[in-house]
Structure 1
Amino acid sequence: MREVINAIFYVVKTGCSWRSLPHDLPCWQTVYGYFNRWGRDGSWEAINCFLVKKARARAGRQARPTAGCLDSQSIKTTACGGRHRGYDAGKQIKGRKRFILTDSQGLLLAVWVCAASVSEKMGVKCLLRYLRRSFVLKELCSQMKLVWVDGGYRGDDLRRFAEKLWGWCWQVVLRTDEAKGFKVLPRRWVVERTFAWMLHARRLSKDYEKNRINSLSMVYLAMISVMIRRY
């Protein structure tokens, strides 16, 4: 079973196809079968939540975060990318969009994957509803009070939605008119750094998965790998 886990992390890190697994690892059908099964029953999600609590405790923080940061990332898919695909006119990308919620350290709390054509406001509403449906995520985010977002998520309708569903304070962080060129925004850089951590896993350079659930699993696995190495 340890070799099966090693094979799954090998695919996530190197970005190879399942059929291209080295011969000294278990056969790809076995490895993919476990990966798919554990993704569908929420095992990767539960492992990520467990490691987040452990990492926060080691850093001297409460197990459950009280503040977080939220953003999205549009990513290309392959020609056989499955159903949930669309065109993001703003980024000019045909593929999917990843919405992630992190704590103030940049540790991944939750992720939602949808077509790139879905707007930021609609996608984040789907993520917040998903948090309510998942027992482990609902428990992990139960103490959260403040969430930082960028200008794409401003608006009274979204602020009221987050406040009604979760009781969160929705704080929008914007660039100033005087700022020229690139500038690191307070609190907003945390989630951008998490996206950079995720892309160290080559499997996430594109969305290769036909199944959207497998796309969620790949994101969780990339961050599980980061936490295992660092904490």
Structure 2
Amino acid sequence: MARRKKIYEGKAKILYEGPEPGTIVQYFKDDATAFNAEKKATIEGKGVLNNRLSEFFMTGLTQIGVPNHFIKRLNMREQLVRAAEIIPLEVIVRNFAAGSLSKRLGIPEGEPLPRPIIEFCYKDDALGDPLVAEEHIIAFGWASQQDLDDIVSLALRVNDFMSGLMLGVGIKLVDFKIEIGRVWDNDYQRLLVADEISPDSCRLWDIETGQKLDKDVFRRDLGSLSDAYTEVARRLGVLPSNVTHTTKPTLIN
């Protein structure tokens, strides 16, 4: 097998040149990080689960007409995606108060918000991904006003899809973050959902018990991250119903 050219390595994924122009191979690592990578660990099987779950969510978005970069899953840890120019923003959609929103505004965790709230953070690890306003985004040229309108529309469509999907399996979608990329079809630019959608990028709570099924398990030392992610995959039908641990996941094609 020919050695592939690495394009970029982040905290949770490695990007390689794809087999065709305009494509990228996205490899999911087992690394877990929190607090801007101040806390680190290797969680066996995490990359496999996030690969499969992101495929599941992106495929569902495609089916309802939400554009995204996913093309196909290649193997247990890799997927082929469309190359895109990533807008340097984390787009956060909040349905319930949690995390930094609760700390900033003093709202108790778990309190329902009057409507979904969309926030933007500037993607810069050295700065700690600071919260920014739409005025900053437009003034510094990260995105135009039309881009922002389209980003908000995409984010709310993802929220509707993900909220309904999770509700159907007894999980509350507290909040999530996505990244948006630009692609060009001839001279026409359009935006699409990129990066990943997985328990790494969502807050997921069991509706009945409030049990956390996301990366807060790792952040707050609440138990096994593998077990939490496996439970999400099991409820969504990504794993067989009799799987209880994901050291060596058995995935459904």
Instruction: Tell me the TM-score range normalised by the shorter chain.
Output: 0.3 to 0.5
Higher relative contact order, chain-length normalized (CA < 8 Å, sep 6+) = 1
- TM-score for both structures, normalised by structure 1: 0.32
Higher fraction of strand: 2
- TM-score for both structures, normalised by structure 2: 0.30
